Structure 1
């Protein structure tokens, strides 16, 4: 796994929208340091980095980065208590939305 992916993962899930601009900016810089396509291993690890909300759109950037790797990343449907981003990632892969990038 590339060092820039490891660094992003080491900081844990994305913060929520109440985080400071400094914290969100640092996570954005870390995320932009990761160039796609990602490997299957990297994509599976990055899935753990979704936070509780969209973090001012940063979660969408993370989702699109994960989608540059082999799909589907999530091979089974997430359970009812799963993070909304996990469900969205799975639904997009299964539903064929990847080509539309919406």
Structure 2
């Protein structure tokens, strides 16, 4: 795993709307931009653990787009369960509604 991905993952989940730390939000957005595309499967899986409680003023969408640069349906490759977060469900829905033939998808 590349160092810039390790640093992002080590900083944990993105902050939520209730944070009053604009610098932290900007720093996390800059971290995402510093990660060159595409990401590997391992990196995508690690990045998937970094979603916070909400969209972090749009930063979570940047994380979604970064994860989607990985090869294939990473993550997830199976339907998220009821306890999965909204962002894992979002990734699943976006992958599921893509242009892959149904037989190439895991349901």
TM-score (norm 2): 0.86
| Cα distance between partner residues in 2 of 1:14 and 1:22 | 13
**Pair 1:78 & 2:74 matched:** no
Where does structure 1 differ by over 2 angstroms across 4 or more consecutive aligned residues? Answer: none
Alignment RMSD? 1.4
Name the CA distance, whole Å, in 1 between partners of 2:8 and 2:60: 13
Q: Which has the larger radius of gyration?
A: 2
Deviations 1:29-51 (A, max 9, x none): 11111111101111111000111
Please state how far the C-alpha of 1:18 moved relative to its aligned partner. 1.7
Deviation at 1:97, TM superposition (A): 6.7
**CA 29–55 in structure 1, closer or farther in 2 if over 3 Å, else same:** same
Match of 1:57 in 2: 58
Residue 83 of structure 1: how far off its partner (Å): 0.6
TM-score in terms of structure 1 length: 0.90
Provide the C-alpha distance between the structure 1 equivalents of 2:18 and 2:37, rounded to a whole number of angstroms. Answer: 28
Structure 1 gaps, min length 5? none
| Counterpart for residue 103 of structure 2 | none
For this pair of structures, how many residues does the alignment match? 98
